[in-house]
Structure 1
Amino acid sequence: MSLDLTGEGLAVERQREDCERIVRSREWSLVETYVDNSISATDKTKVRPSYDRMVADFKAKRFDALVCWDLDRLTRQPRQLEDWIDAAEEQGLRLVTANGEADLSTDGGRMYARIKAAVARAEVERKGARQSRAQQQRAKQGRPPRGVRATGYTLDGEVIAAEAQAVRAVFEAFATGTSLKALAAALSGAERLTREVGDKTHIQVLPASVPVLPTRSGQPWNPSTVTGMLRNPRYAGWSMLAGEIVRDESGRPVQGQWEPIVQDSLWLDVQRRLDDPKRKSNKTGTDRKHLGSGLYLCGICDRPVKAHNVRYRCAGHVMRTRAAVDAFVLEIVRARLARLDLSDLLPTVQEAEIDQLHEQIEQARGRIERARADYRAELIDGPLYKEIKAEAEASIQRLDAERLSLSASPATAAILAAEDPVEAFDNADLATRRAVIDMLAVVRLFPAPRGLKVFNPDTVKIQPRARARGLPATEP
């Protein structure tokens, strides 16, 4: 049976009863019953365990007659049908169908079987083309796609609150620097990741903001399934087809007829991080083990420092003890988080400027639409149309980047808006604490004076970012 909608197996049970009635009427001995319920015989890539076992049993000469309800219940693959025809001609296999249409022992029966298989195959191809065209139409109209539902939504596009909360938490955690492996472990119910590097054990505490979310298959989450979630533009409210955002004739993303789970700015931030070549490198992946590695800058060359044993290092410039530097930076950050005017740091949406950018983006898209109309009316030639289109698309890309830079980011808002921000910061995972530090300040490390055994705070410069008013600045 291709698809058992109820899971009760009623259809294959009816088929089995009809087939066993034939076995009894011919006074045959029933050797085995082979059932593949809710598995299509049309898709040759599908694994049909019972079918494969049946083929093996025939080769082992366990039976010499085969009863099936209809030929298309046996197979819809012409190549497989030819194998059974060969078995009937060369090895004497008797193949009987419940509807009485197949008799592979005669040339007429074999011809009928081949014609039926070809017709069935052609109908499958036509059905596939119709379904593909229907999916394209649904996507262009912004309607929810059919098929496997996305986590967080029903098939009709309604939000499933508990799943949507988990999806949102995954996006926000990844945006702050949490690794795909850590997210998969957190969704699967783990509390920490343990990794052996040489003779040392590294323990990574997983983000508490990401809830446990069982998969529909019952298998644990893995990094690739998390990546599939993060890549899905449906969560930002955009229509998707074959993994790509669907766009109208002017290049505008088609808005879906469902409620977005994450902001488009957060979704695009996540895409940039997924595409970052540095993140994909084994040396600078997402599993940061130290507070300042890749975050603090060298005070001499302004490049990010790296962790080296118990120190932060910029080769030839700076070598500083990690514990002392981190303790000092955390002290400064905690002091700022404890201030009463912390609400000033909450990300704000500059709505007037964003609305103006939206208007400019629409004007640029209007240029493309007008140029397309002029080209179709033969008022302009192809090269001029391409030139106008390229200029407008470049303008749209620039304006869209500016719009996203003004949009509020939820990455660190939970810490800043907490009842006790200092406690929330201390209890956060490493990736979130790094994101908060990065939002508040730029930290630069300078060489320590020679011969000095104690930490000198004057060798660490903490420069507040523009919106981090009230953060005490330190000078080397």
Structure 2
Amino acid sequence: MQAKPVGGYCRISDADLADIRRAVKAGVLTPEEAAHEERKGVLRQREDIETLAGGAPIKWYEDNNLSAFKRNVKRPDFEQMVKDLKAGRICGILAYDIDRVYRQPRDLERVIDIYETSKEPLTFKTLSGQNFDLTTSDGRFSARLFVNIANKSSEDTRRRLIRSNVAKAKKGQSHARGLVFGWLDDDPSKLNPETASIRKKAVEKYIAGDRVATIMKWLAGENVINIATGKHFTWGGTKAMVLAPRNWGIRTYNEEIIYDDANEIVMGDWEPIFPTLDTWYLLQKLKGRDAKNPGEANVSYLLTAIARCGRCGATLKGHPKWKKGERTPGYNYNCNKQRPEQCGGLSIDGPQLDALIQDLVWHQVLRASKQKQVPEGAEPWSGEVELAEVEGEITELQALWKAKKVRAASYVVALDDLNARKNELLADRAYHSVPAGTRSITQELLSHGWGNLSIERQRIIVRNVLRAALIHPANSRGGRFDPDRVEPVFHTA
């Protein structure tokens, strides 16, 4: 009968990986050479474990480039090794050192439970020269002691790293690691003119009304590659790129904006895509727009829910036309009898209605553009007084803190609340500075018309001009499109 194999576990340590990554950053090693060095480290561990096995068969488990300390990191081969040990498919574990296998006491205890309850003799050996034999009480004691020490060492390193990173963040030092789309590959503090312009346009599209999914499709259509992954941008990657504070030069840590001692946003030491924070505050007003308007997420037709039935007043919905079981390019806007108040007895040709409304709205857009996009007598922003009050409260709170008249916990909570309200007001002011009736008028719209705009941006423009388009019943069935059936309902003010 063939002897059971023993599990051979290999993992490059965090310290080794850190040395290799520093060498890559310093230009001593290329990424390809670094990968080769990592592989050589694993192969050296295999050679040592084969010596430790003394000719016994080995089943290999390898979690290269994975931390044994971080709780949120799953090590697939370690988990499989534990399962195999518990099921009796291997007769023990061999490793270069115990810290290659465990850095968390809870992982060690899972394996100790198996050793203590196993009905078969199991082995546990390392090349460290210390007694970590989990089949004995002394070995288990040594293993527990060493893993706890290793865990504390990792915790200490983590704390030092956090302190260092926070200190760098407060100085505005760049947090970029690796390649960042929009900045130079060899110097992430300098903008790459070509990719930075794409990133800027993506943000502008979002502000103008495009959803993240639409921007993602635009990037794919332009064959834009995310240099961090070597692939097209995903939905999550597109959203992260558009909303990243880095675009405005804002320094963050753990996704939180860093403020200096004067309660001003800390700016990073890299070139921003947007030189001022105006669009940043505007973006804060627009974030979550898709979630607030879930009904807009999958709209495929320009006037769905804008056109209304002239009989019952219900909103019309676009539906494709079918002929002989096949979908045609045409579509209708129909009143669908889905609820008791809907009559379900009205329909109108979609493309012709869209063209009529687009022509009507276009004239309004041109008229607004000739008025320099800023109507005379625009209402002043109503939040100036509150903004001044909030800024005054922040100043008073800081003075109390410097005078040691307020506790740290109370100061932090109050300052966070005041900063949050201040940012809300600044976002509202930025949004108000663009008049509602002409908010969607952009140079792109004026230069190229409707053709290059996404359906959601077209709908924003239509909604800014029209409250609704009332569709009256036709005088006869199957007749030609009658523009007189369409009654536009404009916003009163």
Q: Same fold (TM over 0.5)?
A: yes
Paired amino acid for 1:275: G
**Which stretch of structure 1 is more off in the superposition, 289-298 or 392-401?**
392-401
Looking at structure 1, the residues matched to 395 and 122 of structure 2 have their Cα atoms a distance apart, in angstroms, of: 66
Contact kept? 2:471, 2:485, Cα under 8 Å = no
**Which stretch of structure 1 is more off in the superposition, 63-72 or 291-300?**
291-300
Looking at structure 1, the residues matched to 372 and 347 of structure 2 have their Cα atoms a distance apart, in angstroms, of: 32
Paired amino acid for 2:157: K
Q: What residue number does 1:81 align with?
A: 108
Q: What residue number does 2:125 align with?
A: 96
Q: What residue number does 1:175 align with?
A: 207
Q: What residue number does 1:431 align with?
A: 456
2:341 aligned with 1:311, yes or no? no
Out of 125, 130, 144, the residue aligned to residue 114 of structure 1 is 144
Contact kept? 1:333, 1:437, Cα under 8 Å = yes
CA 1:227–1:316: 2 relative to 1, 3 Å: same
2:451 alignment partner, SS class = helix
CA 1:457–1:368: 2 relative to 1, 3 Å: same
1:28-427 → structure 2 map (5 Å cutoff): 28-59=55-86, 61-64=88-91, 66-85=93-112, 90=118, 91-104=120-133, 107-145=137-175, 151-153=181-183, 156-187=188-219, 189=220, 211-214=223-226, 216-217=228-229, 221-248=233-260, 252-262=264-274, 264-276=277-289, 279-281=292-294, 284-293=295-304, 306-307=316-317, 309=319, 310-311=332-333, 321=348, 322-332=350-360, 344=370, 365=391, 368-374=394-400, 377=403, 397-398=424-425, 401-406=428-433, 413-416=442-445, 418=447, 421-422=448-449, 425-427=450-452
Deviation at 1:117, TM superposition (A): 0.5
Where structure 2 has 5 or more consecutive residues not aligned to the other structure, the ranges are 1-11, 22-30, 320-331, 375-379
Looking at structure 1, the residues matched to 98 and 200 of structure 2 have their Cα atoms a distance apart, in angstroms, of: 48
Deviation at 1:73, TM superposition (A): 0.9
Paired amino acid for 2:273: I
CA 1:391–1:92: 2 relative to 1, 3 Å: closer
Looking at structure 2, the residues matched to 171 and 20 of structure 1 have their Cα atoms a distance apart, in angstroms, of: 53
Q: What residue number does 2:469 align with?
A: 445
CA 1:186–1:102: 2 relative to 1, 3 Å: farther
Looking at structure 1, the residues matched to 73 and 141 of structure 2 have their Cα atoms a distance apart, in angstroms, of: 27
CA 1:388–1:136: 2 relative to 1, 3 Å: closer
Deviation at 1:131, TM superposition (A): 2.5
1:33 alignment partner, SS class = strand
1:126 alignment partner, SS class = helix
Deviation at 1:18, TM superposition (A): 5.4
Q: What residue number does 1:472 align with?
A: none
Deviation at 1:48, TM superposition (A): 1.9
- CA deviation vs aligned residue, 1:379-410 (integer Å, no higher than 9, x gap): 999x9xx9999999868754653344336999
1:8 alignment partner, SS class = helix
Paired amino acid for 1:372: Q
Q: CA RMSD in A?
A: 5.0
Contact kept? 2:105, 2:144, Cα under 8 Å = yes
Q: What residue number does 2:328 align with?
A: none
Q: What residue number does 1:469 align with?
A: none
Looking at structure 1, the residues matched to 420 and 107 of structure 2 have their Cα atoms a distance apart, in angstroms, of: 51
Paired amino acid for 1:415: E
**Which stretch of structure 1 is more off in the superposition, 148-157 or 259-268?**
148-157
Identity of aligned residues (%): 20
Deviation at 1:68, TM superposition (A): 1.6
Paired amino acid for 1:288: V
- CA deviation vs aligned residue, 1:84-105 (integer Å, no higher than 9, x gap): 4455665433333223234415
CA 1:429–1:19: 2 relative to 1, 3 Å: closer
2:125 alignment partner, SS class = strand
- CA deviation vs aligned residue, 1:11-51 (integer Å, no higher than 9, x gap): 45345435525634774234233322111111243222332
What TM-score do you get using the length of structure 1 for normalisation?
Answer: 0.69
CA 1:438–1:211: 2 relative to 1, 3 Å: farther
Contact kept? 1:364, 1:396, Cα under 8 Å = no
The number of aligned residues is 429
Where structure 1 has 5 or more consecutive residues not aligned to the other structure, the ranges are 190-207, 349-353, 467-476
- CA deviation vs aligned residue, 1:119-171 (integer Å, no higher than 9, x gap): 11112222222223333333333332265766435684443445434433333
Looking at structure 2, the residues matched to 459 and 18 of structure 1 have their Cα atoms a distance apart, in angstroms, of: 78
What TM-score do you get using the length of structure 2 for normalisation?
Answer: 0.67
1:415 alignment partner, SS class = helix
Q: What residue number does 2:24 align with?
A: none
Looking at structure 1, the residues matched to 314 and 432 of structure 2 have their Cα atoms a distance apart, in angstroms, of: 23
Deviation at 1:255, TM superposition (A): 2.7
- CA deviation vs aligned residue, 1:211-239 (integer Å, no higher than 9, x gap): 53347446765444444444433323322
Looking at structure 2, the residues matched to 396 and 62 of structure 1 have their Cα atoms a distance apart, in angstroms, of: 59
Looking at structure 2, the residues matched to 399 and 177 of structure 1 have their Cα atoms a distance apart, in angstroms, of: 20
Paired amino acid for 1:120: A
Deviation at 1:72, TM superposition (A): 0.6
Deviation at 1:78, TM superposition (A): 1.6
- CA deviation vs aligned residue, 1:58-98 (integer Å, no higher than 9, x gap): 34545445432211112212233234445566543333322
1:445-464 → structure 2 map (5 Å cutoff): 445-446=469-470, 448=472, 451=475, 455-456=482-483, 459-461=486-488
